[in-house]
A and B are shown apart, each in its own frame.
Chain A
């Protein structure tokens, strides 16, 4: 089937800058959803605020464009109320890891069944290029005009430490890998985190003299390697890609059914 059935065509072309990686993630997500063959009336997308959050307007899902950082909290209410719904929660790096950091770690801990996608371009784009908790030391941004002295979070390690039962990472360069990881994340029962390293040529690339979108994508190609690959073994400084965590644990909505059963007994 065509992925066009999954989008709201009247809103295209989208508002993202030329060369932005977010459209590539949208494309990969749509292919994943299409291939999964999910009943469209069950598809929900809950997003926060920022460039990334605008993704929910483009998909023909039940869509909730919520508050900065709070998408996972809204999604938790939605999913717990109606566990049969299929919930996707795309977030930006500032959205998920700064203002939404608390919601993120607790969603990981709770293990409620949904797919969280962290679209990590290491910058606040919509507000014009401020550094985020994923920018890292030495990065230049409008609020770090000399350089950033803030240490960065590692999304994968943070999610793992917080108890997420599925954790994966890829990049905007690896478009098919995005699709396959989102499919795996969806098929995993529990809270699944997929971090996608993506490029913001307008702010991050320009401020840090990384070239245009093509050069930024090439950087992701050259500086990442699949988990277990020879390339990674030979050069451990590369950013690893792939599935870091995939384990079974009690899922929150199912567990709540046991609360209901027990409440009826007593």
Chain B
């Protein structure tokens, strides 16, 4: 089988990526603008021996994903803002119980029901801190249909590697836009399979005891090891504990397994950063507008560059600091009130030269929008 070329929506590219990565279970609930993900998987999963179920609500969908993942299936769900809010409880469970899974949030305008058919990037902080309590999370995004595909594969790989839910934080423009997608042959992109324990039947298996390399081999429900899974703080067997030492260890483990790997998890693209005096930082669909502006102005001789983040969480602070070290000004372009800018500002060399460029009316921010803000800041008039 050679690579396959098709012309698809971002939501379908996500499905193709998930299938490439070996997804075998989807539970979801209809919500604009992510519904196409459910629709395509309803069609495709039974063809590959997988299971699709439309649950009674967003909460149940996230719970069913956890159940299926513990049974040994690569599992995912997809939603948008209001549904993402409802999923936070079970997302927290997946974080606590270290259940690999992928959660897609195709962002739309918020808060509340907001703008169901229009675009926003307002769920950035929700992806990080939507679930209660101290925890860490991986969240990835993409700005093209090709990147949606490869990022989805990566999301499953990271979920399996780190035994954690991974958020795919797409947006309405990317979810609904159609563009060329080239699906590589199976085997071209690496696919991480579930790591199963080698502990034999009858020998003690500790589901929550990390190996030397930090990974936690799993045993499927129905396998030879019967263990406990709980959302309570637990010991290495998975049984509830209030032992202060064990509780503290678990909290640090859940936090550090992701936060300490910021450098390994960072994914980004960069354009003309080498000698850039003005650096734009963006992600998702707004990064396309930024790149348009950067290409135009670069060809006119401006020293301007773009850092497009694909890993949003853990926030790649070191990367951003390095890539902006020589910048005279930094523009953070996003379709929210400055959620990423708030991350950028404290970690760069010169926080006073970080400027926000935002659009929050449901429309994709345009190169002209960005250019106008830059002109004002550069003192060249409006």
Interface residues of A (CB under 8 A from B): 11, 40-44, 46, 56-57, 60-67, 70, 73-82, 84-85, 102-103, 105-106, 256, 259-260, 262-264
CB nearest neighbor in A for B25: A81
* Residue contact B66 to A263, C-beta cutoff 8 Å: no
Q: Which residues of chain A are within 8 angstroms of B229 by Cβ–Cβ distance?
A: 63-66
B27 in contact (CB, < 8 A): yes
Q: Which of B214-259 contact A (CB under 8 A)?
A: 220-224, 226-232, 239-240
User: How far, in angstroms, from A57 to B73 measured CA to CA in the complex?
Assistant: 24
Q: Given contacts A103-B56, A106-B56, is CB(A80)–CB(B228) below 8 Å?
A: no
* Residue contact A73 to B67, C-beta cutoff 8 Å: yes
The 8 Å CB contact of B71, one of A40, A85, A102, A263, is A85
CB within 8 Å: A-B pair count = 137
A-B residue pairs in contact (CB < 8 Å), sample of 7:
A62-B221, A70-B59, A73-B60, A80-B53, A81-B24, A85-B221, A106-B60
* Residue contact B63 to A102, C-beta cutoff 8 Å: no
Q: Which residues of chain A are within 8 angstroms of B379 by Cβ–Cβ distance?
A: none
The 8 Å CB contact of A65, one of B53, B61, B228, is B228
* Residue contact B71 to A106, C-beta cutoff 8 Å: no
Q: Which residues of chain A are within 8 angstroms of B227 by Cβ–Cβ distance?
A: 62-63
* Residue contact A41 to B222, C-beta cutoff 8 Å: yes
Interface residues of B (CB under 8 A from A): 24-25, 27, 43, 46-47, 49, 51, 53, 55-57, 59-61, 63-73, 75, 89-90, 93, 220-224, 226-232, 239-240
CB nearest neighbor in A for B71: A81
* Residue contact A102 to B57, C-beta cutoff 8 Å: yes
Q: Which of B43, B55, B230 has the most CB of A within 10 A?
A: B230
Taking the closest CB of chain A, its distance from the CB of B46, in whole angstroms, is 4
Q: Given contacts A74-B64, A106-B55, A263-B47, is CB(A44)–CB(B222) below 8 Å?
A: yes
* Residue contact B60 to A76, C-beta cutoff 8 Å: yes
CB nearest neighbor in B for A256: B51
Q: Which residues of chain B are within 8 angstroms of A82 by Cβ–Cβ distance?
A: 71-72, 220-222
User: How far, in angstroms, from A260 to B226 measured CA to CA in the complex?
Assistant: 30
* Residue contact B226 to A78, C-beta cutoff 8 Å: no
Q: Given contacts A62-B226, A65-B232, A67-B231, is CB(A76)–CB(B90) below 8 Å?
A: no
Q: Which residues of chain B are within 8 angstroms of A106 by Cβ–Cβ distance?
A: 55-56, 60
The 8 Å CB contact of A67, one of B89, B223, B239, is B89
4 other contacts beyond A77-B75, A262-B46, with CB at 8 A cut-off?
A: A66-B231, A76-B55, A79-B67, A260-B46
Q: Which residues of chain B are within 8 angstroms of A11 by Cβ–Cβ distance?
A: 239
User: How far, in angstroms, from A262 to B42 measured CA to CA in the complex?
Assistant: 12
User: How far, in angstroms, from A109 to B320 measured CA to CA in the complex?
Assistant: 51
Closest 3 CB pairs of A and B: A77-B67, A77-B64, A73-B63
Taking the closest CB of chain B, its distance from the CB of A152, in whole angstroms, is 22
Taking the closest CB of chain A, its distance from the CB of B135, in whole angstroms, is 15
Taking the closest CB of chain B, its distance from the CB of A130, in whole angstroms, is 20
* Residue contact B231 to A78, C-beta cutoff 8 Å: no
Q: Which residues of chain A are within 8 angstroms of B226 by Cβ–Cβ distance?
A: 40-41, 43, 60-63
* Residue contact A260 to B60, C-beta cutoff 8 Å: no
CB nearest neighbor in B for A70: B63
* Residue contact B70 to A78, C-beta cutoff 8 Å: yes
Q: Which of A40, A74, A75, A102 has the most CB of B within 10 A?
A: A74
* Residue contact A81 to B72, C-beta cutoff 8 Å: yes
Q: Which residues of chain B are within 8 angstroms of A40 by Cβ–Cβ distance?
A: 226
Taking the closest CB of chain A, its distance from the CB of B272, in whole angstroms, is 47
* Residue contact A70 to B71, C-beta cutoff 8 Å: no
User: How far, in angstroms, from A81 to B27 measured CA to CA in the complex?
Assistant: 11
Taking the closest CB of chain A, its distance from the CB of B29, in whole angstroms, is 11
